[in-house]
């Protein structure tokens, strides 16, 4: 009997021990309380396991004596013995060493360690970068940290002065897709026009997102159209917003430029130029971030805000008299007569962005939302108007005599008591007001057998409004022409609404794990141009006047000088829709071999159907060496801006101020010129590289790429408005000089290699951080797709896309760019430096002399009647012995930034620094040996072009950083 009782007890005990029961649980972040999805929950004694859903919840069958291992990338692993537990709540602690390497961009499964991704992804933590530089916005900060990221500040380029775009791998601004929290962000309504880099491109205004709201930026440097859709030819920039709660973060910074060489105050005769102060470009920024918890299930709302004000800068050569100074340039009367106000415009900007999540109690669903508002006002100077050269652009009386306006006009070398009208000039100003609004909302959760779903809607709106300021419409009646100095020039806006459904599931039982995803997308876009007030564009009688100063009769210049207003004929209200779907899979074939694949189908209501694919793979040759590569196809839909944009603007061509009509692609004049309707740009992308971690805390990644791009959309050249074929379709007023178009004109090859070295080490109270990011690249024009009607003669072919325009496309990015960020800290002190090397690039002028490449008998051949249009541009040598190509060569340069920080307390840090400490500038925009003829013939018309490190020189700055 006793033996029977013992046997019965053993059976009951073993039943208790080995009987499995359902264990449920939830896993959250220990600091924020936010549920963590994709956490691995495994039974230590077996291969059985599961992962958490979007609510951080899991369910698993386990015995009482089993031990669960809880692990997630970026968090410390925990072990939990089941025992009598049936419901478990676990809070994971972040592993700070690993967390910085986790990426979510480029895959829809669980996050990956950056070095184990099959494609290169950069991670930029905004807080640390923002604090150690005077760079006032997101794009200028990323320019220091990402190898093939390029950004140039414009001057004298109308709306391009007011908004900044950036590019990856030497491609266009609109060939990089921008996401926020993984959701597509809207484009700007603006299109780059004359005198700009990236002309013909739109782009996303990254600076409309306050840096204080951003946790990190993940930059996928690889084609990703099959995964994310249009625009992702060069890659993807994914901005991840903060989720912090009960933490106050603030940065208060001031800065200013000290350029002892090129500040206009240092000119031989400063009165010739607009001037500011010795320390100009004075900047103040305030960034704030704070978060609050919502409910008891890990909900939160985080808000980041910024305010920024930047003053103008004024730059000119100290001496332009080349006869007495061999290093200078000559323009009679020894001044930069077309750019007396060259430099950055002023900016006042402010905005906020929020990020929120609310798990729904008693369910596996989370509501989330994010969005923001940004306002920017920019004031910039247009090109100078000189009365002796262009009296038709001034207010005059019936006899063509100047009506002098002392509050706007200036006089060169005024004689006491005498107004020398031959020396009067003024600079029109352009006020640009930009409003940017975005709102995203959605639900995500888990349904059925661990199927994760995400349903969202994102709407974005960008409005661009121009005003002419301190300028004139010379055709207004004599009683108001001198007094109406401000004009509403109109503008444009763009709205984008995107609805997405994304579904994915992880199958642990297939090979070593398969993540399968699919989704649908519907996108609606609307683009509008609205006209300005009548006086901003109109021409009033008399349309011609005799001007005594020039001794001839001229057409009086109509419209607001600087930026003529949009006309009723420019107005447009265009919309389109897009429907797309994708399939995506990520398979761990073995523990070492990962394979990714994606297929996407899309249909646009205006130009039709496209499809793309991608294959990527990574193989672990060893525990610390991963080989990776990809091949993909990509596309970029022509934007509504490119299809519909139209306006009449002014530009300096070969020293002459001209009216140029950018005609819409849908216009009759475009059809007459043989310009076909715009279609999508397409690409084939190849990449191959490796990620290597030779020792702890040191990572090396090297990735080569090759991008074959067809049908790139560009501006055509400028066709004469008097051409017999085009003239019937040209507006009568103002008297136009030329017309140009958007066209699918060019096939290119971009190839290069990105190199990133990263080292982080701490010992005791000391630490060192090193980041080296390098890019070596080339851009080749493979083919120019000239429409048949424009392919008859060399002249026509050059008009369509001249050698000058080809040079600017090739100069989209320097051949080499290397940056190194180094910081050493000990106790409360830290010292650091940013070194940035910009490689050589070159552009061309318009050309004043014979176009040597033209064939005899063709326009531009034997004479100079067509000079200045960029056809094989040549200029005369200063010594009069012949002509040379008008090449502007910008040799390699390196800038050095230095900063010192002191931790005043646990919560307060003070940082001071000097950027570009050696006052390095790009080379002057002039042709060696031909300074007299080429000076002022550059893209900007000033001493410098928008290349490399900018032209403002040394910047002094300080930041106060608060953490509470």
Sign of CA dihedral 540, 541, 544, 545: negative
Dump pLDDT digits (tens) for 410-434: 987 767 767 778 889 999 999 999 9
CA pair distance 827, 817, nearest whole angstrom: 33
CA pair distance 191, 199, nearest whole angstrom: 8
Rounded average pLDDT over 752-760: 93
From 321-325, 367-371, 492-496, 730-734, the region with the lowest mean pLDDT = 321-325
Reading the block at residue 467, the tokens are: 């005003």
Residue 67 has pLDDT above 80, yes or no: yes
pTM, whole model, 2 decimals?
A: 0.87
Give the other-Cβ count within 10 Å of 671's Cβ: 13
Q: What's phi and psi for 423, nearest 5 deg?
A: -115, 25
Average pLDDT over all residues of the chain: 85
Dump pLDDT digits (tens) for 702-723: 999 999 999 999 888 888 888 7
Rounded average pLDDT over 952-962: 95
3-state secondary structure of 637: coil
3-state secondary structure of 5: helix
Position 852 confidence tier, pLDDT thresholds 50, 70, 90: very low
Rounded average pLDDT over 545-567: 91
In 756-802, which ranges are continuous DSSP H helix? 794-800
pLDDT of residue 698: 92
pLDDT of residue 16: 42
Taking alpha carbons only, the member of 178, 432, 99, 135 closest to residue 287 is 135
The 8-class DSSP code of residue 185 comes to: P
Dump pLDDT digits (tens) for 854-906: 333 333 332 333 434 567 888 888 888 888 888 999 999 999 999 999 999 98
In 543-689, which ranges are continuous DSSP H helix? 640-644, 668-672
Reading the block at residue 345, the tokens are: 């415009």
Q: Are 394 and 421 in contact (CB under 8 A)?
A: no
Structural element, H or E, at residue 15: helix 2-18
Rounded average pLDDT over 263-289: 91
pLDDT of residue 18: 46
CA pair distance 232, 224, nearest whole angstrom: 5
Torsion of CA 385, 389, 391, 393, to 10 degrees: -40
DSSP helix, strand, coil percent of the chain (3-state; round to 5): 10, 45, 40
Taking alpha carbons only, the member of 46, 59, 58 closest to residue 18 is 46
Distances 73 to 110, 220, 515, 538 between C-alpha atoms, Å: 9, 19, 16, 63
Reading the block at residue 2, the tokens are: 């006793």
Position 41 confidence tier, pLDDT thresholds 50, 70, 90: confident
- Please tell me which residue, 480 or 36, carries the higher pLDDT value: 480
């Amino acid at each position: 009997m006793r033996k029977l009782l013992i046997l019965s007890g053993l059976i009951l005990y073993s039943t208790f021990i080995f009987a499995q029961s359902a264990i449920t649980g939830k896993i959250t972040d220990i600091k924020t309380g936010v549920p963590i999805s994709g956490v691995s929950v495994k039974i230590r004694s077996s291969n059985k396991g599961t992962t958490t859903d979007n609510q951080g919840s899991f369910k698993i069958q386990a015995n009482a004596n089993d031990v669960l291992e809880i692990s997630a990338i970026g968090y410390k692993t925990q072990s939990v013995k089941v025992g009598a537990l049936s419901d478990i709540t676990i809070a994971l602690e972040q592993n700070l060493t690993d967390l910085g390497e986790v990426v979510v961009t480029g895959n829809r499964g669980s996050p990956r360690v950056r070095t184990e991704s099959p494609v290169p992804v950069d991670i930029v933590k905004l807080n640390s970068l923002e604090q150690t530089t005077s760079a006032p916005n997101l794009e200028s900060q990323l320019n220091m940290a990402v190898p093939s990221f390029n950004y140039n500040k414009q001057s004298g380029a109308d709306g391009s002065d007011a908004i900044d775009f950036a590019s990856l791998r030497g491609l266009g601004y609109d060939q990089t897709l921008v996401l926020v929290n993984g959701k597509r962000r809207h484009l700007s309504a603006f299109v780059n026009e004359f005198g700009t880099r990236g002309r013909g491109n739109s782009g996303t205004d990254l600076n409309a997102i306050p840096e204080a709201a951003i946790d990190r930026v993940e930059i996928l440097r690889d084609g990703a159209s099959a995964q994310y859709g249009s625009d992702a030819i060069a890659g993807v920039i994914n901005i991840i917003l903060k989720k912090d709660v009960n933490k106050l973060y603030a940065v208060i910074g001031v800065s200013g430029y000290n350029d002892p060489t090129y500040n206009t105050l240092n000119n031989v005769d400063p009165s010739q130029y607009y001037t500011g102060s010795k320390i100009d470009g004075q900047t103040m920024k305030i960034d704030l971030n704070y978060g609050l918890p919502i409910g008891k299930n890990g909900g939160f709302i985080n808000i980041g805000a910024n305010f920024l004000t930047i003053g103008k800068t004024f730059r000119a050569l100290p001496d332009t008299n080349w006869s007495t100074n061999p290093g200078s340039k000559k323009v009679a009367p020894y001044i930069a007569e077309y750019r007396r106000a060259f430099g950055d415009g002023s900016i006042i900007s402010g905005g906020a962005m929020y990020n929120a999540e609310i798990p729904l109690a008693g369910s596996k669903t989370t509501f989330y939302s994010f969005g923001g508002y940004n306002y920017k006002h920019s004031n910039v100077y247009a090109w100078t108007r000189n009365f002796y050269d262009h009296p038709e652009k001034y207010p005059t009386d019936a006899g063509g005599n100047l009506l002098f306006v002392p509050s706007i006009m200036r006089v060169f070398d005024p004689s006491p008591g005498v107004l020398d009208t031959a020396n009067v000039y003024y600079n029109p100003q352009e006020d640009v007001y930009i409003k940017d609004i975005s709102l995203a909302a959605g639900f995500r959760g888990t349904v059925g057998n661990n199927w994760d779903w995400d349903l969202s809607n994102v709407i974005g709106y960008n409005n661009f409004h121009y005003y002419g300021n301190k300028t004139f419409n010379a055709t207004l009646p004599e009683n108001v022409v001198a007094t109406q100095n401000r004009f509403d020039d109109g503008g444009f806006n763009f709205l984008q609404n995107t609805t997405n459904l994304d579904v994915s599931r992880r199958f642990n039982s297939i090979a070593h794990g398969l993540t399968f995803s699919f989704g649908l997308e519907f996108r609606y876009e609307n683009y509008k141009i609205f006209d300005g007030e009548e006086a901003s564009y109109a021409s009033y009688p008399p349309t011609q006047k005799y001007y005594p100063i020039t001794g001839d009769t001229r057409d009086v210049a109509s419209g607001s000088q600087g930026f003529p207003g949009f006309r009723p004929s420019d107005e447009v209200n265009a919309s389109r829709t897009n429907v797309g779907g994708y399939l995506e899979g990520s398979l761990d074939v073995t523990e070492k071999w990962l394979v990714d694949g994606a297929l996407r189908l899309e249909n646009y209501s205006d130009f039709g159907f496209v499809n793309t694919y991608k294959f990527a793979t990574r193989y672990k040759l060893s525990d610390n060496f991963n080989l990776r590569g990809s091949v993909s196809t990509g596309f970029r839909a022509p934007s509504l801006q490119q299809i519909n944009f139209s306006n009449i603007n002014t530009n300096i061509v070969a020293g002459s101020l001209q009216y140029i009509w950018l005609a819409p692609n849908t216009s009759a004049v475009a059809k007459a010129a043989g310009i076909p309707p715009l279609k999508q740009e397409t690409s084939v992308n190849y990449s191959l590289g490796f990620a290597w971690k030779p020792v702890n805390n040191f990572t090396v990644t090297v990735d080569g790429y090759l991008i074959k791009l067809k049908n790139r959309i560009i501006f055509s050249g400028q066709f004469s408005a008097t051409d017999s074929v085009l003239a019937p379709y040209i507006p009568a007023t103002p008297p136009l000089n030329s017309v140009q178009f958007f066209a699918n004109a060019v096939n290119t090859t971009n190839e290069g290699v990105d190199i990133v070295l990263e080292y982080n080490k701490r010992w005791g109270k000391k630490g060192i951080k090193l980041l080296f990011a390098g890019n070596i690249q080339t851009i080749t024009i493979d083919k120019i797709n000239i429409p048949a009607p424009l392919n008859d003669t060399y002249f026509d072919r050059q008009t369509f896309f001249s050698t000058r325009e080809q040079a600017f496309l090739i100069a989209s990015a320097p051949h080499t760019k290397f940056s190194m960020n180094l910081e050493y800290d000990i106790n409360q002190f830290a010292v650091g430096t940013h070194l940035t090397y910009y490689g050589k690039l070159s552009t061309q002028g318009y050309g004043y002399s014979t176009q040597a490449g033209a064939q005899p008998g063709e326009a531009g051949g034997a004479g100079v009647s067509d000079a200045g249009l960029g056809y094989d541009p040549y200029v005369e040598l200063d010594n009069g012995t012949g002509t040379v190509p008008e090449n502007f060569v910008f040799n390699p340069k390196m800038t050095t930034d230095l900063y010192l920080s002191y931790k005043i307390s646990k919560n307060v840090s003070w940082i001071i620094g000097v950027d570009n400490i050696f006052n390095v500038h790009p080379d002057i925009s002039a042709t060696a040996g031909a300074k007299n003829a080429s000076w002022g013939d550059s893209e900007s018309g000033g001493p410098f072009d928008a290349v490399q490190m900018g032209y403002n020189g040394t910047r002094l700055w300080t930041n106060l950083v608060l953490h509470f």
